[in-house]
Amino acid sequence: MMGKKREPRKTANRMRFWRSPLLPGILFMDGSCRDVVFSRHSHETYAFGVVEEGALGFRYRGRDFVATPGTVNLAVPGEIHDGRGASGEGWRYRMAYVDVAEMLRVTTGLREGEGPPFIAPGVLADAELARFFRGFHESLRTGGLDGLSASTAWTLFACHLLRRHGERTGERPSPLPSVGRVRSFLEENMDRNVSLEELASLVSASPWHLLRAFRRETGLPPHAYQIQLRIREAQRKLLAGTAPVQVAAEVGFADQSHLTRWFRRIVGTTPAAFLRDTGPARGTGPFPADDGPRTRSEGAPSPRRGVALEPSSESAGEEG
C-alpha cells in the first residue's frame, strides 16, 4: 500500500522580536513569512540578517536583490527598501537591528573619515559571515553566551563585516534646506493631520515642487514619511511597555486597528505581539526554539558549546 505523498512544509507568517540584556543596543528578530509584503520604508538602525529557508527579495538603493541561505542581507540607516518573497515557499530568517551609536562604538578605529559605517550592497555573498551571524544569533537566543562571549562575537561580526565589505561614503550632497525644514516639522508634529499645501506654504514652495524635492531626497512622499515616523515612535513606546491602544492615540493614528494595519506593513507583526515579545518584562531570551527545524550544517551551535568566536583566517579580510 502506497503512502500519501508528503506535502512540502509551508512557511507560516510569524515574526518574533526580542532583546538580550547582554547587548542592549540591538533588537533581534526571528521571522517566517509566507505571503508578507513590506511597504517601502527605512530604518533608524542598521539591519543585518540571514535567510535560513526560501528567498527574500527587495529593492534597495535602485537595485533588486534576492537574499538566500548563505548570504547576509542588510540595510543601512535611512535607505528606503521594501520586502517580499522571491519564491513560492516564502522565507524564514533572522535579523538584528543595531543602533547607530552601537555601530559607531564597536567599529571605532576601523572607519576612514567621519560618519557612520557604510556598506553599499543589500546582499553580501559571504557564506562564512552568514554562518557566523547565524551561530551568534542562535547562541544568544538560547542562552548559550555570557556577557564577554556575546560582546566578543558581536564585535567580531561587525568588524569583519566592515573590513570585508565596508566602503568610504565620500562627500554626499547637502540636503535641501526646504526639505530639512519639512522633515523637522513632520517629526515635531507626527501626531497631526497635515496637508501637502500646509507643508509647501511652510517653505514657500508649490505643492508639486515640494513633493518632487521631498521624494528625491528621502525616497518617500511626505505622507509615507509621516507614517514611518509614527511607526518608529510606536516601536519606541511599545518597547517601553505602553499599551497599543494608547500608542495609537499618542502617535497620531485614528485608532488601534489603523496602527495595526500600518505596523504589519512595515514591521511585519502586530503591535500587541511586538509588545508581548519585547516589553520591559519580556524579550530578553533565552526561550525555546519552536520556529522550525535547524540543521547543524547551517551553523547552529549547541547552546552548551557556544559560538565560534573567529571566522577563518583565510577569508577574514585582514588586508581589506
pLDDT digits (tens, 9 = 90+) for 139-173: 999 999 999 999 999 999 999 999 899 876 544 55
The C-alpha cell at 289 is 526554539
Where b means 16+ CB within 10 Å and e means fewer, 223-238 reads ebbbbbbbbbbbbebb
* pLDDT tens digits for range 114-128: 678 899 999 999 999
Strand partners, 84: 57
Counting residues of the chain whose pLDDT is more than 90, the rounded percentage is: 66
Task: Using DSSP bridges, classify how beta strands 123-124 and 14-19 pair: parallel, antiparallel or unpaired.
Answer: unpaired
CA 9 to CA 174: how far, in whole Å?
A: 50
Between 83 and 113, residue with greater pLDDT: 83
Tell me: the pLDDT tens digits for 43-74?
999 999 999 999 999 999 999 999 999 999 99
pTM for this predicted structure: 0.80
pLDDT in tens, 74-85: 999 999 999 999
Contact 231, 209 (CB under 8 A): no
pLDDT band per the 50, 70, 90 thresholds, residue 281: low
Instruction: Enter the C-alpha cell of residue 21.
Output: 540584556
Closest among 6, 19, 5 to 238, alpha carbons compared: 19
C-alpha closest to that of 292 among 72, 14, 5: 14
Which runs of E-coded beta strand occur in the chain? 14-19, 26-33, 38-41, 46-54, 56-60, 63-67, 72-75, 81-85, 91-98, 123-124
Per the CB < 8 A criterion, the answer to whether 213 and 179 are in contact is yes
Higher pLDDT, 168 or 198: 198
Identify the DSSP state of 301: P
pLDDT over 60 at 7, yes or no:
no
CA nearest neighbour of 275 among 263, 266, 286: 263
Half-sphere exposure of 200 (CA within 13 A, CB side): 13
Q: Under DSSP, is residue 217 helix (H, G, I), strand (E, B) or coil?
A: helix
